[in-house]
Amino acid sequence: MVQCLRAFKLDQQKDWAALVKRPPLAQGELLHIGMAHFYAGVAIDRRGQVWVGARKYEDKAGFYTWEEAIPILAEKYDISEHVPLVMAFMYEYVQKPSYLLNDVIALEYELQTHLPRLPADRDLYTQRADLICKDDQGRYYIVDHKKVHSVTSRTFDQFTLDGQFLGYAALGRKLWGHDFRGVFLHRCHLESKVADCRPINSAPEAVTGHFSNLVAWERVLIQLEQEQADPFDYPASTSEHVCHGKYGPCDHINKCRYG
């Protein structure tokens, strides 16, 4: 979700290959690839099939194991120094029984919808879900893996109004209606090798208004693009919570301070 329109515009000029080398992102990428390959194997063992993206797999021939996948991705992105931390976490993680084990039916699955009141070339809204699960009562739920920097009871509140989670909730509700159970945060603290998975606290009003909110943001962006506005003419949020996020200061903070 866009937190600052100016940062959003400036981010389009970023070097993403360099960005992924930052420790939080690098570790998060390796965690995600490890989880994807672990749960692909689990789903095929238990259900005999799994959807990955738009493709159904019925055997493990197309997959690496998670132990293979993590170093392969690390080498590709030149982030191998983070492999030991993530591998140590995963070795511990896979030893513990999890209630996700019987439920995974899809991973890296793209949810999408068309937003109203937007031009046809701007109305497609997509979000990729880490896991789609189905419980023993036939209800669907979406799981998002997050590498967290601390494990506190506040985490589940913090994500309640997070745009990414509202998007999952709105898409899940649209797709599955009453058969949608909710969005779960699968938080992973690599250093302490602790993980848990619980539903995000509900925000029904915000979920109901989420697509309208996206349309409002998109219309502002379209207007600015039509005006060919300079990035520094995009609205700046200038908030201590946005300019100094949990992973440190915004990349553009010096430009905002000094020009």
Determine which residue in the list 1, 2, 4, 161 makes contact with ligand SF4, applying CB under 6 A: 4
Q: With CB under 6 A as the contact rule, which of the stretches 5-13, 98-106, 180-188, 211-219 interacts with ligand SF4?
A: 5-13
Question: Smallest distance from the beta carbon of 245 to ligand SF4, in angstroms?
Answer: 8
Give the count of residues interacting with ligand SF4 (CB under 6 A): 13
Task: State which residue, 91 or 232, has the beta carbon closest to ligand SF4.
Answer: 232
Question: Smallest distance from the beta carbon of 248 to ligand SF4, in angstroms?
Answer: 11
DSSP state, residue 13? T
Secondary structure element (H or E) that encloses residue 199, with its range: strand 194-199
Task: State which residue, 15 or 121, has the beta carbon closest to ligand SF4.
Answer: 15
Token pair of 188 as six digits: 């992973």
Residue 145 binds to ligand SF4 (criterion: CB under 6 A): no
Task: State which residue, 88 or 242, has the beta carbon closest to ligand SF4.
Answer: 242
C-alpha distances in angstroms, 145 versus 13, 41, 79, 179?
A: 27, 17, 20, 22
Q: Which of 163, 160, 220 is nearest to 185 (CA)?
A: 160
Token pair of 212 as six digits: 């309208």
Residue 19 binds to ligand SF4 (criterion: CB under 6 A): no
Residue 9 binds to ligand SF4 (criterion: CB under 6 A): no
Cβ-count burial 114-144 (b if 16+ within 10 Å, e if not): eeeebeeeeeebebebbbbbbeeeeebbbbb
Question: Smallest distance from the beta carbon of 250 to ligand SF4, in angstroms?
Answer: 3
Site string for ligand SF4, 211-250 (x = CB under 6 A): -------------------------xxx---xx------x
Residue 42 binds to ligand SF4 (criterion: CB under 6 A): no
Q: Which of 230, 236, 245 is nearest to 4 (CA)?
A: 236
Task: State which residue, 41 or 163, has the beta carbon closest to ligand SF4.
Answer: 163
CB distance 132 to 107 below 8 Å: yes
Distance (Å, whole) CA 213 – CA 206:
9
Residues engaged in binding ligand SF4 (CB under 6 A): 4, 6-7, 10, 236-238, 242-243, 250, 252-253, 256
